[in-house]
Structure 1
């Protein structure tokens, strides 16, 4: 199975990766070539553009442009310092205009407000009707009406305030297909003869809402207030020119900038006049300054920063002369609104409720400073070439690279494209990025995902083989190199652990079947977690007994150490387990643990009907035997000689030399007490005394050994009462039945 997986990943798998990569590349090439649209890519390009803009925005407040804000304060009633609800009488707007020019000496004034209907709030129309009909022959009435008429003609007062001043009125084109016409338009910037449609693909409209002819004729110029709204509802660009009825009309920002500069003429700059196939308008010439536009005659809005990147002053404060003169003198002012009820809040890259008037302020500043970004005609060709070349390279190269090298290639390529894009943006060129990133990421993720799929199959194979024995983190580690593991038998140096609950038969007789099951699970679960946490493999559960080993299937150079650490942890867990048992009215438990190290056979063993991954051998049998005699010595853990040998920093008490059942050769067994630095001085003292007693015992110096053991029983009884009593009993027997000169000091056990 493993050989087949390996062969598949290097032959058929590579072909599938390559073909899929080429298909992904073809899709993105089609999008970059405008053969079709991928909405997600378009949306991603907008997100990337917004991020670049916010990252590089200069921030701060531009002191040259001030927004006269028709805000909530201005809409309050007169007695509260405002001007009342909108629309205001035109004489109040005339007052605002006169204040700004006469009292504050502003340089220019633009209105992001449309005045398409007559102001009849003074009652002039009613009085005019009376003069024409009911009082037609009343000379006194006619004389008095002639005197007061100028004061009642509020539109004329407003028009007078606009006249011969650098003022620009805003107007609005209607949605496509709406042919309604209201008011008048300002003079056009171009005709389609001067700027043929073959050079551009402009925004075209059929209807508009303009200003009263009296007002528009009095103003220096006018401009539309219609931004270009992208597919995601965000305003990133403004049409500098919109086509209507064979003519082009400029935006409020462009008209304001030209008015400020003295009404400089507007011209066009063709990208490549010598090559008709590439001929398109690339710039608008504003009296010698170049304003970048795309084929749709739109320009990127150079947002300076979030809301209030320009100073806002309440219109009512200006009208009431509450503003210091220096705040407005010599400034460009735009009249607009932030009052939510007047519905001029827009979604932009720098804010979801951004005042429309501040959009125009940003554009005016960009036109004056020459900081508006451009997307020349060649950027689309460059994007197409990058998508095609990089996609092809990734599709052909990634299947041959390792995941690490493929990730490095992808990371470097993506970082390079982002860096190149940012450098280009800082130099004023807006390059598309989403399609390039899209093809690189998707081809890369496809290759990684396909590799992961194959790896996951290998992991499922490993999990099926070893998941019931090995903790999940080791399964993950094994799955990285599945060819290194198999169920076939082999001989290794390993460590085995046996754990058994003492007196379990008596305990089980006192519990019903359901409670007994819960009882066993309650201590086997924490013991298993301990073994798993120390990289152990569970061989089997045998009632209350656990058999585990270290060193397979994952090799472990520290198998002896991990086995002993697990034994210590299991003994330490007993206290917490018994506390829980006491709350449930269950009997407490004690365990005996045997740990042994040596060469063992490991692999799938059993019959054709049932197999199990297990360990076998003399070293395994010895581990089981020494666990069985822990009770004889009154200790919780006994380790074999090879385990002791592999752990030089382990402090252990030599318990005995024993011949366990089935073994003719005596082996030395030890009780592990702790690693260096972990054993108390009292235990170390008792250990020294016991070593002396044991040496005397093996030299058949019975009285000397006995005296040492009696001292231990008297002064250090808690360190091994059962062990000391065991040797005292043996001494009494051996004194009466001397073992002879050839005695090796060992003891033979005849039971398991």
Structure 2
């Protein structure tokens, strides 16, 4: 994981704006409709939404395949069915239906036929054939219960023939639907302008009559019905809510109803149609089929209702299919209006802002995580959003689904490309530059911190680590070159692994010496503690190598380590053509002197007071002395780390206490007491033994009055 810099944040915002603008633009407007389709399918799968058809305020009378195959309609042209249609409609009206709407259009009458039949046209011989049908239309219309349908079109309008229009006193409404660019019906028009006035469409008119209310149409296209503000994100349309996938719409076969009229079962019509909105339409396998938002989930041509007179035809079980009969589109619209259940969609501004926000989150994730992690974040966020969107859709609110998902996926891809081309150049340079010098976990920490080494150098607070093998030159003289190289490789590898494992950076090897620093290039607030831990571990590991490694057998190697903390210049330093990542400052020089100072005290690790202070209470220490190293006039208090706090041995605690007593007496010019304290542990502590000798000398030859307890070291 990496941190986002200011440039990355700007890039993420710009990428999110671009992706959001593209995926909510007009050319990709079909994505909005696809969201409705997916939400309809998911809601149907997750929630189920099975509603009792008996509760539906809308029923369908279907001129279906059974009707075409049942006498007296079998083999007869539909123009000859009008008298039977009139009888059935009369019984439906008498049964208590609130209003009947026609989703079929009889554009002509058999009475208009000019086909010769004998010595006169067929129409003349059939004069009066539609009388009973027209009378039925007039009676039902006069009761306010009938609306005929028409198709408005500038090129090919479809309207009922004139006698029907006169019979219903022009109670005719448009059956036109709103078809999206992908030929899918997701919305229903609310009105059309006829002679300069807004006239409600069929579904709106039927719902208004069922509610005994008046439609309120505003010039903007907004509409209200019985106190219900019809949601119209697309002006003058209702977004259809196919909540029950049309399975909850009772459907009656016209053939069975005609037989029921013959049977005279008025109670059946009352039970089936009382208080209902009735839609008469064709329900056939290959005629007037519509793709709707149910196309992914599978819609149904209603649910077959109880029969009155004829037995149910074989194979009438309803199966889900991508298209539905057009009459069920109008049935859904009427039910949405009556039940105030139309879908509310977000407007373009809200949809765009939400898409941009979604894309921005994923773009930022792609800037922080690796590509695989960013993809997981996209999948997780998308899954959560899908759950939220489905929950909202259960409550008839359609949140954008495909636009945020696709825009964020595009933002993910673009941000990954941006990182590869621009943002991660420094990271790749860093990984390549330090691959042979730092442990992988240290490089990862450096990358995650976002603090890259500055070209030309920068000031850092670091802890320097200097180590050198004691008397190695004389040992090397006794070894063959192969043995020497093998020994050094094993030693340097072991020490380097420890240093890098504690977050350190090996600056260079100088023969058997190691120069390392903690706190750069990886930013490490605990660099002093990590340096001390590394020094203690190196000391213990060398003892293990001396004891168990064949290459070290018989040599008894020992080393000295100097530690110092402070400000230093770190960076790429060198000539114009060749440079190294290294460190320069007085902090470095002091650490080097402390490494050499170990030989004056017989110690293995010596640290400055600044290093000791920066470790807090992490370690048990003993103060060795105050020294003045070569090339530096200021005295330095030096300390030896014994172990982690609480991990020091009893012997170490005993020596540290005696040494502290002796040092206090020494500084108080009580040299005899100091000598006694140091001699008490001199046999097990080289530093105490050497201080005891110095104390004995000053006991015999006291120093002048201006003497200060500072040891000036002559060598390095």
Give the TM-score of the pair, scaled to structure 1.
0.49
- Give, in whole Å, the separation in 1 of the partners of 2:359 and 2:533: 45
Query: Contact conserved, 1:537 with 1:549, CA < 8 A, in 2?
Result: yes
Residue 612 of structure 1 is matched in structure 2 by: 580
Q: Determine if the alignment matches structure 1 residue 295 to structure 2 residue 290.
A: yes
- Give, in whole Å, the separation in 1 of the partners of 2:566 and 2:355: 52
Residue 548 of structure 1 is matched in structure 2 by: 516
Q: Determine if the alignment matches structure 1 residue 452 to structure 2 residue 413.
A: no
Query: Contact conserved, 1:706 with 1:728, CA < 8 A, in 2?
Result: yes
- Identify which range, 482-491 or 634-643, moves more after superposition: 482-491
- Give, in whole Å, the separation in 2 of the partners of 1:501 and 1:50: 75
| TM superposition shift of 1:491 | 4.4
Residue 443 of structure 1 is matched in structure 2 by: 410
Q: Secondary structure at the match of 1:276?
A: coil
Residue 275 of structure 1 is matched in structure 2 by: 175
Q: Secondary structure at the match of 2:624?
A: strand
Residue 638 of structure 1 is matched in structure 2 by: 606
Residue 740 of structure 1 is matched in structure 2 by: 704
Query: Contact conserved, 1:410 with 1:440, CA < 8 A, in 2?
Result: no
Query: Contact conserved, 1:391 with 1:443, CA < 8 A, in 2?
Result: no
| TM superposition shift of 1:592 | 1.6
Residues 686-725 of structure 1 deviation map (CA, whole Å, 9 limit, x = unaligned): 2222222233344554443333233224xxx44x2x2233
| TM superposition shift of 1:639 | 0.8
Query: Contact conserved, 1:455 with 1:479, CA < 8 A, in 2?
Result: no
Residues 288-307 of structure 1 deviation map (CA, whole Å, 9 limit, x = unaligned): 6999998369988899xxxx
- Give, in whole Å, the separation in 1 of the partners of 2:49 and 2:32: 33
Residue 345 of structure 1 is matched in structure 2 by: none
Residues 655-686 of structure 1 deviation map (CA, whole Å, 9 limit, x = unaligned): 23333332344433221123543333442232
- Give, in whole Å, the separation in 2 of the partners of 1:498 and 1:460: 30
Q: Are residues 402 and 725 of structure 1, via their aligned partners in 2, closer, same or farther at CA, if it must alter by over 3 Å? A: same
- Give, in whole Å, the separation in 2 of the partners of 1:192 and 1:564: 104
- Give, in whole Å, the separation in 1 of the partners of 2:513 and 2:76: 95
**Please, which runs of 5 or more residues in structure 2 have no aligned partner?**
51-67, 79-148, 153-172, 180-184, 189-241, 253-271, 273-277, 300-314, 321-330, 337-341, 369-373
- Give, in whole Å, the separation in 2 of the partners of 1:14 and 1:540: 43
- Give, in whole Å, the separation in 2 of the partners of 1:190 and 1:481: 82
- Identify which range, 287-296 or 602-611, moves more after superposition: 287-296
Q: Are residues 647 and 544 of structure 1, via their aligned partners in 2, closer, same or farther at CA, if it must alter by over 3 Å? A: same
Alignment of 1:291-330 (within 5 A): 295=290
Q: Secondary structure at the match of 2:538?
A: helix
Q: Determine if the alignment matches structure 1 residue 660 to structure 2 residue 560.
A: no
Residue 286 of structure 1 is matched in structure 2 by: 251
Residue 628 of structure 1 is matched in structure 2 by: 596
Q: Determine if the alignment matches structure 1 residue 29 to structure 2 residue 28.
A: yes
Residue 677 of structure 2 is matched in structure 1 by: 708
Residues 584-623 of structure 1 deviation map (CA, whole Å, 9 limit, x = unaligned): 8685543221111233333333333432232223332121
Residues 11-30 of structure 1 deviation map (CA, whole Å, 9 limit, x = unaligned): 8x976775566555569827
Query: Contact conserved, 2:367 with 2:419, CA < 8 A, in 1?
Result: no
Q: Secondary structure at the match of 1:295?
A: strand
Residue 537 of structure 2 is matched in structure 1 by: 569
**Please, which runs of 5 or more residues in structure 1 have no aligned partner?**
35-40, 60-184, 195-268, 304-356, 364-373
Q: Are residues 187 and 541 of structure 1, via their aligned partners in 2, closer, same or farther at CA, if it must alter by over 3 Å? A: farther
Alignment of 1:92-171 (within 5 A): none
- Identify which range, 722-731 or 694-703, moves more after superposition: 694-703
Correspondence for 2:493 among 515, 518, 525: 525
Query: Contact conserved, 1:29 with 1:388, CA < 8 A, in 2?
Result: no
Alignment of 1:713-724 (within 5 A): 713=682, 717-718=683-684, 720=685, 722-724=686-688
- Give, in whole Å, the separation in 2 of the partners of 1:400 and 1:444: 9
- Give, in whole Å, the separation in 1 of the partners of 2:485 and 2:32: 69
Residue 325 of structure 2 is matched in structure 1 by: none
Q: Are residues 492 and 7 of structure 1, via their aligned partners in 2, closer, same or farther at CA, if it must alter by over 3 Å? A: closer
Correspondence for 2:655 among 686, 689, 698: 686
- Give, in whole Å, the separation in 2 of the partners of 1:23 and 1:554: 41
Query: Contact conserved, 2:628 with 2:636, CA < 8 A, in 1?
Result: yes
Query: Contact conserved, 1:625 with 1:661, CA < 8 A, in 2?
Result: yes
Residue 336 of structure 1 is matched in structure 2 by: none
Query: Contact conserved, 2:467 with 2:514, CA < 8 A, in 1?
Result: yes
| TM superposition shift of 1:739 | 3.9
Residue 364 of structure 2 is matched in structure 1 by: 403
Q: Are residues 515 and 736 of structure 1, via their aligned partners in 2, closer, same or farther at CA, if it must alter by over 3 Å? A: same
